[in-house]
Amino acid sequence: MILIKQVETYSPEKIGRRDVLMGGEKILEISETGLDTGNLPVTVIEGKGKLLIPGLIDSHVHICGGGGEGGFKTRTPEMKMTEMIQAGVTTVVGCLGTDGITRSMEGLISKVYSLREGGVSAWCYSGSYQVPVRTLTGDIMKDIMLVDPIIGIGEIALNDHRSSSPTVEELARMTSEARVGGMLAGKAGVIHCHLGDGDFDLDQIEEVLERFVLPIAQFFPTHMNRNPRLFEKGIRHALKGGMVDMTTSTTAQFIAEGEVPAAEGLYRLRQAGVASSRITFSSDGHGVLPKFGPNGEFKGFGVGRLDSLIETVREAVNQFKIPLEEALEPVTSTPADYLKLNAKGRISVGKDADLVLLDQDHQIQDVIARGKICMADGVMQVRNTIEMD
């Protein structure tokens, strides 16, 4: 058992100074007045001077590696579990990207199980950029209904020169199959859509919504902050009840070329009246941040980082004066609710014991994943299963 004593707690809403007791993988009790554990064997963490927040949820990570647009030498490596812990991320949703050939669904599922065995939480989407969707079982509904970690499909590329250019009818059919599979399995059943830099923005999604009887929230479009035009359309999409996922990994060049930093995007979305339940952040961790020339030629790349999530939270608080509880929602309660990760995203009795302790500057000090201390006072307490010395 672990007891965190008298810590300022954000659930993510601010609930004040609390004692938080956890046992096994769950939060057992939360007390304002203090908890007496008697003679029980308890590890005590002093919370004075720290802030307690839920473990972060990253809903778009290339856990098997990504990239490859510049040839085999530009393939990024698999994500390590310790990268999650260092970033305060206790839950990831894995995806494939441009390369749905050498990065397979079998490999993706295997990585999910590897992370789970390592002590963190992981789910994934079925498919990659390409259509028809390269599923595990050969069928979208079967994947979602019968394979525990699969909660939807994606990331399906739209409006991008790397997309396989699905028709509106194909997009509607995929969305319907994911939705029904999700309904029958009690899962989110979303279609996670990569939005590129083309001129069509959300046009295909909007046409599906006009022509077919499908709910707007079934679409989970990402990279919505990649340029000013797409971002503005994202505001309108969210005001209609759609989701907007903003990518936190970026480069100075991308921002100079017009990308809206995610922290600024949160500020502007909230100023426009978009509900917090419509906004998420994701890192695009281990994905390539590619740069292409005017004719589509590959010019170079950066790599997405999971720790860009907490950096974006800090930027939202420090630069845009967004209250911490609001800055946390896109990486805690909102993705948990939207993706139906019901034990995640909140500090509440019965929820999973996924917790992060910050100092007053919002730097990560301690990380607890599924009730196990993984980082203590900034020092890693766990190792990847296989590490080269």
**Residues designated catalytic:** 284
CA distances from 35 to 10, 11, 326 (A): 18, 18, 28
| Local structure of residue 341 (DSSP, 8 states) | -
The residue with tokens 């503005």 is: 232
What is the C-alpha separation between 109 and 116, in angstroms, rounded?
Answer: 11
For residue 192, count other CB atoms closer than 10 A to its CB: 27
What is the C-alpha separation between 234 and 236, in angstroms, rounded?
Answer: 5
CB 274 within 8 A of CB 266: no
Torsion of CA 357, 222, 384, 109, to 10 degrees: 130
Which residues face 46 on adjacent strands?
5
Q: Are strands 89-94 and 121-126 parallel, antiparallel or unpaired?
A: parallel
Tokens for 211, please give them.
């022509």
Task: Name, in order, each residue with C-beta under 8 angstroms of 322's C-beta and a sequence gap of 6 or more.
Answer: 263, 266, 267, 270, 316
My answer on whether omega of the bond before 155 falls inside 30° of 0, hence cis, is yes
What is the C-alpha separation between 56 and 85, in angstroms, rounded?
Answer: 10
Q: Terminus-to-terminus CA distance in the chain, angstroms?
A: 32
Helices (H), 151-261: 168-185, 203-211, 228-239, 252-256
Please classify residue 210 by burial: count the beta carbons closer than 10 Å to its beta carbon, then call 0-12 exposed, 13-18 middle and 19+ buried: exposed
Q: Collapse the DSSP code of 373 into the 3-class scheme (helix H, G, I; strand E, B; otherwise coil) and give the result.
A: strand
Mutual angle of helices 262-271 and 308-318, in 10-degree steps: 50
What is the C-alpha separation between 385 and 180, in angstroms, rounded?
Answer: 37
Tokens for 74, please give them.
């530009």
What is the Cα Rg of the chain in Å?
A: 20
